[in-house]
Structure 1
Amino acid sequence: MQNYHSYHDRSVIDSFMSVASVAFGKEPAIAESGDYTFFAGARSDAFFFDFDGIKNLFDIRGGRNFTALHLSGEFPWTGVDSNTQANVCSMVLELPTAQLLDTTPDIRIWGRCSVRRDGTLLHVDRAGHPSVSSFFNTDDTKEEYNASEPEHDRDRWMPMFVHLLGHTGGYTDEEAVAAVDAEGILPDMLTFNPALPAKYPNGRVFTDDVIDYRLASLTKGDCPPSGLRPHTDTLQVFPYLGPPH
């Protein structure tokens, strides 16, 4: 069994917690401590996708969520970005790349969302790779998946992923396992090797069309690209995400 550990510099975190504030306006409240820069608050969401086009590709009846993909031969995309006016609650941390280069060899990142219930934080959702939870889980499995942790992903979820890839892309069991391993989606943690260019699935940048990538993977390249363009309101300077709408 693999163990997944998190590392943090407690003094840096304590420093940010003492001076950082959550910003909801146009101007970001930026906190700095030595080589670290931190922001938390509302920003424009850089994620772009054609939701009506996605719905044209899937039969979501019967609690199947986005797992019953069908390619009818008709072009599914509308050409309309469904996310141009959305905001996202963001946390941005900038640090020297040199501090990441001694990883062995990759950084693996996942996040959880918790709700406070009876005085206790209850883990109810998580994310690592973009869109994996949506496209691999039915309504019957998504709550268990989202409430679990990556440590047990391969044992618990590999058979389901293999079955789905056989259905959506005609993968053999061996091909499906190889595809999952090549992308590193189980365990479901976003992998980044700082010695290599950042482009999904090695990390993720704002211009990556992760929906096109996921659908191409599911269908062995048979799903046509959506043709959408990345958002133009991202910034070249910290915190990189544009002001909220």
Structure 2
Amino acid sequence: MSHHLSGPNLRSPEGDARLDLTDLFAFAAPEPGRTVLIMNVNPVAPSGGQAFHPQAVYRIDIDTDGDRRADLAYSFTFSEPRDGAQTMTVRRAAGEGARGLEAVGDVLVADAPVSFTGTPAVVEAGAHRVSAGLRSDPFFADLDGIVKDFQWTGVDWGADKNVFGIVLEAPDAQFGPAPEIGVWARVSVRKDGHLVSVDRGAHPSLTAYFNEEDVKEAYNAGDPVDDWENYREPWTAKLQHFGGYTTDAAEAQLRIVLPDILRYDRARPAGYPNGRTLSDDVTSARLTMLTDGKVPGDHIGPHTDLLPAFPYLGHPH
């Protein structure tokens, strides 16, 4: 999987698919000078949840100065669903306001419709363009082949799957003055009156391969600034086991993905691990990393239902 089923025992966090972050993307919009950020949740939607969780905060964090801490945060919250309809509110916080879990900051969009049909609901909010709803899952991989010790089946697990997509586009300057930004996504939910982080991530296919079951909840609750200290040693051991790496070579590979922040230098074309486009073959990239090139890929290509314009994610199946 990419980041699908990121809770313990290959289940969704809290056993709730609505809280399950599946993928994060960062790439240039077709219109020059604009950046697109996408976070997808709810794998195999809508079977695991008919709407976004109304007690959750879905969040995209942005590090603009390289200190591994959020300097900007876009928070997306959703109303209680009624009669198959739901609305979304979007807030933008900067500075200290970007470093908590609560949805704070300037309200960019209030009570915008969410789309659960094939027609996306697109909202223009000043310089920002936003959409949320049911979309085709762009993740592609031969998961059965991976489970069968790399005996490839030629079947794309994601070919007929949907997710809930949250798509944000804005001028580059809205995401920080420097060309390079760091991005990660987080899902928090209110429990006993307190907001708790139950999922977070940026790079694809990390927790499934690297984290033992008993640390997944702590990882999902953690912050990227602590990742190198907390996960360097156990993840080095994983690479030594899977790929036969030396310690130095393993740590060199881990510096690409730890801390778990997707770096995107907007002065260069997007392509994983410099950001991530919807057609990047991240499964092959991760298999190559894990095995030190012994397993170079799964021979599955990107989906053909991607849209050339906003919101970019294909129509749901």
Q: 1:83 aligns with which of 147, 150, 158?
A: 158
TM-superposed CA distance for 1:91, in Å, is: 1.0
Aligned to 2:69: 4
CA shift, 1:129, in A, is: 0.4
1:44-89 Cα distance to aligned partner (Å, 9 max, x none): 11111111011123xxxxxxxxxxxxxxxxx521110011121111
Match of 1:191 in 2: 263
Matched with 1:236 is 308
Contact 1:133 1:146 in 2 (8 A): no
Amino acid at match of 1:55: V
TM-superposed CA distance for 1:141, in Å, is 2.1
Higher percent of residues as strand: 2
Offset at 1:120?
2.1
What SS does the aligned partner of 2:198 have?
Answer: strand
Q: Aligned equivalents of 1:109 and 1:31: distance in 2?
A: 22
- Checking the alignment, whether the CA contact within 8 Å between 2:72 and 2:175 is kept in structure 1 is no
Matched position secondary structure for 2:228: helix
The code of the aligned residue for 2:240 comes to: G
CA–CA distance in structure 1, aligned partners of residues 280 and 108 of structure 2: 33
Task: Give the alignment partner of residue 111 of structure 1, picking from 179, 185, 200.
Answer: 185
Task: List gaps (5 residues or longer) in structure 2.
Answer: 1-65, 74-91, 94-104
Change (3 A) 1:7 1:115: closer
In the alignment, the residues of structure 2 paired with residue 126 and residue 209 of structure 1 have an alpha-carbon distance, to the nearest angstrom, of: 21
Find the residue that maps to 1:243 and give its secondary structure. Answer: coil
Match of 1:71 in 2: none
Aligned-residue CA RMSD in angstroms?
A: 2.1
1:1-150 matches, within 5 Å, as: 2=67, 4-7=69-72, 9=92, 14-16=107-109, 18-57=110-149, 76-97=151-172, 99-100=174-175, 102-103=177-178, 105-150=179-224
1:212-236 CA-partner distances (Å, limit 9, x unpaired)? 1001011111104211111111100
Whether the 8 Å contact between 1:19 and 1:31 is mirrored in structure 2 is no
For structure 1, which segment, 156-165 or 140-149, has the greater mean C-alpha deviation from structure 2 after superposition? 140-149
Letter in 2 for 1:162: T
Q: Deviation digits for residues 143-199 of structure 1, max 9, x if unmatched?
A: 222221111111111111111111111111111111112x2x111011111001100
Provide the C-alpha distance between the structure 1 equivalents of 2:138 and 2:289, rounded to a whole number of angstroms. Answer: 22
Highest Rg: 1 or 2? 1
Relative distance call for 1:3 and 1:199 in structure 2 (3 A) is: closer
* TM-score, normalised by the number of residues in structure 1: 0.85
Q: For residue 251 of structure 2, what is the aligned residue in structure 1?
A: 177
- On the 8 A contact 1:110/1:189 being kept in 2, the answer is yes
CA contact (8 A) 2:187 2:198 kept: yes
Amino acid at match of 1:7: L
CA-CA distance at 1:140 after TM superposition? 2.3
Distance 1:244 1:6 in 2: 33
Instruction: Select between 141-150 and 230-239 the one with higher mean Cα deviation.
Output: 141-150
In the TM superposition, structure 1's runs of 4+ consecutive aligned residues that sit over 6 Å from their partners are: none
Alignment match of 1:226 (pick from 291, 295, 298): 298
Pairwise CA distance, 1:26: 1.1
User: Quick one: which of 165, 169, 175 aligns to 2:239?
Assistant: 165
- Corresponding residue SS for 1:141: helix
Paired with 2:219 and 2:247, the residues of 1 have a C-alpha distance of 21
The question of whether the paired residues in 1 share the 8 Å contact of 2:68 and 2:224 is answered with no
Query: How far off is 1:35 after superposition?
Result: 2.4
CA distance in 1, matches of 2:106, 2:140: 31
How far residue 13 of structure 1 moved from its aligned partner, in angstroms, is: 5.1
Q: Which protein has the bigger helix share?
A: 1
Q: CA–CA distance in 1 between the matches of 2:253 and 2:227?
A: 15
1 CA distance for matches of 2:67 and 2:107?
A: 29
Counterpart AA for 1:190? L
Code of the residue aligned with 1:170 in structure 2: it is: G
Does the 8 A contact of 1:101 with 1:195 survive in 2? no
Q: Among all aligned residue pairs of Structure 1 and Structure 2, give the percentage whose two residues are the same amino acid.
A: 44
